[in-house]
Amino acid sequence: MASNHIVSSSQSALNSHSSSPSPTSLQPSTYREYEPEEIDWDNLGFKVMPTDYMFIAKSCLDGNFEAGQLNPFGNIQLSPSAGILNYGQGLIEGTKAYRREDGRIYVFRPQDSAIRMQIGAERLCMPFPSVDQFVDAVKQTALANKRWIPPAGKGSLYIRPLLMGSGAVLGVAPAPEYTFLVYSCPVGIYLKDGTGALSLYVEEEFHRSALGGAGGIKSITNYAPVMKAMRNAKGKGFTDVLYLDSVNNKYIEEASSSNIFLVKGKVISTPKANGTILEGVTKKSVIDIAHDLGYQVEERMIEAEELITADEVFCTGTALGVAAVGSVTYKGKRIEYKISSETISQQLNSRLVGIQRGTIEDKRNWIVEVK
C-alpha cells in the first residue's frame, strides 16, 4: 500500500518545501462560517472556530522532519490504515498566543510544549520535530492567523500542535510516515458558565491511567477513556471528574484535562508526577509563581481525605488557566470552598495572566514574541 499524504481539502498532495510560503501568497481557507469582524469577543467561549491557516510538515526517510509549510485550514486525508487511526499513535499539545495593548503578539512557553511532545514521542516510538521547528511552526501559525487573535484582555488564540502516525500500517508497529500539524482557534473563557469555579466529582470506579502506562504524556489515547466518567459526572451537575490512583484508589491524581492543587494555610500541595500524571506547563508555571510569592509548595502523594480539611482547591491547565474549585463531592459528601478575589488561586492567576499579557515582568523568558 502506498504511503499516504495529509493534504488540505483544497489541495493535492503536499510537496516538500525548504521554507513556508507567506500567508499573503496563499488563499485563506473558506472552511470557516464567518469572519473575525463578526465575532463578539466578549462572549467568545471555548469551541472550534476555524481560522485561515494551518501548518503541516512531514517526516523524511531519515526520521527528521521537513521544513513544512502553511496551508489553508481545512479537512485532511488519511489512509484507513494510518497508524493514528488504527493504533492511536498520536500526541497533542496546546499553547496560547496573546495580543497586548500595543498590538504585539506573544506565545506562552512553546518550548516547554515542544520538549513535552518529544518525551511523548519517544514513549510512542515516533520521530519528532526539533524544539526550534516546533516553536517556529507555532509562531508561523499564530502570525498567519493574527487577525483571529482577540483584542487585549478579551481572550487568546489557542494553538493545537498534533503529531501523528499518518503512514499506513497493518500490524501493531510504528507507522512508516509521520505528520506534524498545527492549527488554531480563538478562545475565551473555558468554563461555560463563566464563573471560573469548578465542581468536581471524585471518581472511584474509572481510572485515568496506571503505572507503566502512558498517563504521563499527552497521548490522544488518554482522552477518550475519560469521556464516560465525564459524561456521568456532568449528567449529575458536576463540571469535571477528579481521578484517584489505580493501585490504592485513595490518592488524588488529576482532573480530566487539568492538574489539581490543595491549599492549607500557607502550604500549597499538588500530586507528585510519577508517570500517571501529566506534567502541565501551567502547573510548572504556577509552582514557580507560588515560590515567588513566598508560598511553600509540596509535590507529594495526597489522600482524597485531605480534600475535607483543605482551605482551598484549584486546578490548572493551558485551556483552563488557574480555576478555583467551588466544591468537591467525595463518597457522597459535598465539600465546599470559599471563592473570592483574595484566595491564593486568584493571586496566582493574577500573576500568571499579568505575565502572559505583559503587565508583569517576565523574568524567566516564558514569553516568546511572534513577529
The string of DSSP codes covering 96-116 is EEEE-TTS-EEEE-HHHHHHH
**Is residue 181 included in any domain, yes or no?**
yes
Q: Are 253 and 229 in contact (CB under 8 A)?
A: no
Grid cell 481557507 is found at 29
Give the pLDDT score at 260.
98
Clarify whether residues 223 and 171 are in a common domain.
no
Range of the domain at 99: 53-188
Question: 21-59 pLDDT, tens per residue?
Answer: 566 567 777 777 778 989 999 999 889 999 999 999 999
Q: Do 224 and 167 fall within a single domain?
A: no
Same structural domain for residues 164 and 287?
Answer: no
| 63-74 pLDDT per residue, tens | 899 999 999 999
Q: Which three cell numbers stand for residue 107?
A: 506565545
Residues 209 and 328 in one domain: yes
328 and 208 in a common domain:
yes
- Among 155, 188, 221, the domain-final residue is 188
pLDDT digits 0-9 by tens, 224-267 = 999 999 999 999 999 999 999 999 999 999 999 999 999 999 99
Residue 28 burial (CB < 10 Å; 0-12/13-18/19+)? Answer: middle
The answer to whether position 193 is within a domain reads no
Residues 211 and 181 in one domain: no
Domain count of the fold of the chain: 2
Query: Does residue 290 carry a pLDDT above 50?
Result: yes
**Same domain for 184 and 259:** no
Q: What is the mean pLDDT of residues 348-357?
A: 95
**Whats the size of the chain, residue-wise?**
371
Is the per-residue pLDDT at 4 higher than 50? Answer: no
C-alpha 316/C-alpha 319 separation (Å) is 9
Among 161, 188, 215, which residue terminates a domain?
188
Same domain, 63 and 82: yes
Q: What is the pLDDT of residues 166-207, one digit of tens each?
A: 999 999 999 999 999 999 999 997 766 545 689 999 999 999
Is 287 within the bounds of a domain? yes
- The pLDDT tens digits of the residues spanning 71-93 come to 999 999 999 999 999 999 999 99
pLDDT, greater one: 320 or 24: 320
Does residue 175 sit in the same domain as residue 204? no
Q: What's the grid cell of residue 248?
A: 490504592
Amino acid at 181: L
The answer to whether residue 127 sits within a structural domain is yes
Q: How confident is the model at residue 17 (pLDDT cuts 50, 70, 90)?
A: very low
Does 272 lie in the same domain as 141?
no
Query: What does pTM read for this prediction?
Result: 0.90
CATH number at residue 285: 3.20.10.10
Question: Which amino acid makes up residue 103?
Answer: G
pLDDT at residue 299 greater than cutoff 70: yes
User: Region 142-150: what's the mean pLDDT?
Assistant: 97
Catalytic residue of the set 58, 139, 146, 218: 218
Give the pLDDT mean for 107-112: 98
Q: List alpha helices for 192-274, DSSP H.
A: 227-235
141 within some domain: yes
Among 169, 188, 207, where does a domain finish? 188
Q: Would you place residue 293 in the very low, low, confident or very high pLDDT band (cuts 50, 70, 90)? A: very high
Residue pair 310/302 in contact by the 8 Å Cβ criterion: no
Q: Is residue 218 flagged as an active site residue?
A: yes
Cβ atoms within 10 Å, residue 332: 5
Whether the predicted pLDDT of 18 surpasses 70: no
pLDDT at 20 over 60: no
Arithmetic mean of pLDDT, 8-32: 52
Instruction: Answer for the pair 199, 206: CB distance below 8 angstroms, yes or no.
Output: no
Q: Is residue 33 part of a domain?
A: no
What percent of the chain lies above the pLDDT cut of 90? Answer: 82
pLDDT surpasses 80 at 7: no
CATH of the domain at 161: 3.30.470.10
Q: Let me know if residue 367 belongs to a domain.
A: no
Beta carbons of 216 and 259 less than 8 angstroms apart: no
| Whether residue 298 sits in one domain with residue 165 | no
Q: Which residues on adjacent β-strands are paired with residue 244?
A: 252
Q: Are residues 304 and 260 in the same domain?
A: yes
Within a domain: residue 165? yes
296-300 and 267-271 beta bridge pairing: parallel
Rg of the chain over Cα atoms, rounded to whole angstroms, equals 21
Q: Return the number of other C-beta atoms located less than 10 Å from residue 155's C-beta.
A: 22
